[in-house]
Amino acid sequence: MIPLPFLALTFAISLAGFACILALPAARSPQSALGLPVWMLMVWGPSLAAILLSLRDGQLIELLGRAVSVSTIPMAVWALVVAPLVLLFALRPFAPEETTPLGIGLLATLILFNLILGPLGEELGWRGYFQDHLNSRIGWLEASLIIGVIWCVWHLPLWAIDSPHAQIAMPLFAGHVMCYAVIIGAAHTMSGGSILPAILIHLSVNLAANLAIFAGFRDPNAWFSSSLWLYLVLSLAAIGLVYARTGQIGLRGIAF
């Protein structure tokens, strides 16, 4: 059921990048000339694995085409794309600290940085390859939860180095990742295989977490703890949207 070659390649590529970060002090920061390509290697493990396997199977053009496909995306999915930023706006009045001004230049840098070191490096693999493989064999929600667990494990090395993730309590991060997996899995399932919503939702959740610092949540744990229950509600809403369109809960043996 689980595509072991994909997982083996994903973890081999990402752990190779992680090993370089450990071995090369100059590569410890993704903002350095040596660090950026090494961090990209680590982060791009899932997408590189999907690209290599799709190339082997003669399906690379199809995979890349689904990354920019728009025609199959329903309006409900676009609502899921912007939802994380709406959550940030809703929680801003409850931030424990004062807001910090954010210039257009820094905002553009954050968007580009998060796009490269996040969704582009992951979503061709997690959703474009892995979710599609599992969705064809089991319920979409079951597939999303399996991916969520593996996604959490894949992130674990970041707690062994000086990374932004290491500042977040691991249980909080795990809870968020499981919510993200359900929300993105729902969007992908409703979008007829288009990977674009997965890329955009992944970008928006990362941006919301980054922008939360400027909105007064300077301690990452303040943001992750405050927003977790809203992401849980959003996950349940995403399950409801898929059910409304397909009549399926997404778990084997459960259908109405």
Mean pLDDT of 38-65: 96
**Radius of gyration of the chain, Cα coordinates, nearest whole angstrom:** 18
- So what's the pLDDT on residue 256? 42
Residue 205 predicted with pLDDT over 60: yes
Instruction: Name the pTM for this structure.
Output: 0.95
pLDDT at 46 over 90: yes
pLDDT (tens digit per residue) in 76-119: 999 999 999 999 999 999 999 999 999 999 999 999 999 999 99
What pLDDT does 48 receive?
A: 98
pLDDT, tens only, 149-189: 999 999 999 999 888 889 999 999 999 999 999 999 999 99
Is a pLDDT exceeding 70 seen at residue 201?
yes
| pLDDT higher than 60, residue 29 | yes
- DSSP result, the chain: ---HHHHHHHHHHHHHHHHHHHH-GGGSSTTSTTHHHHHHHHHTHHHHHHHHHHHHTT-HHHHHHHTS--TT--HHHHHHHHHHHHHHHHHGGG-SS------HHHHHHHHHHHHHTTHHHHHHHIIIIIIHHHHTTS-HHHHHHHHHHHHHHHHGGGGGTT-GGGGS-HHHHHHHHHHHHHHHHHHHHHTTT-SHHHHHHHHHHHHHHHHHHHTT--SHHHHHHHHHHHHHHHHHHHHHHHHHHHSEEEETTEE-
pLDDT of residue 162: 82
Query: Percent of the chain at pLDDT above 90?
Result: 83
pLDDT of 241 over the 50 cut? yes
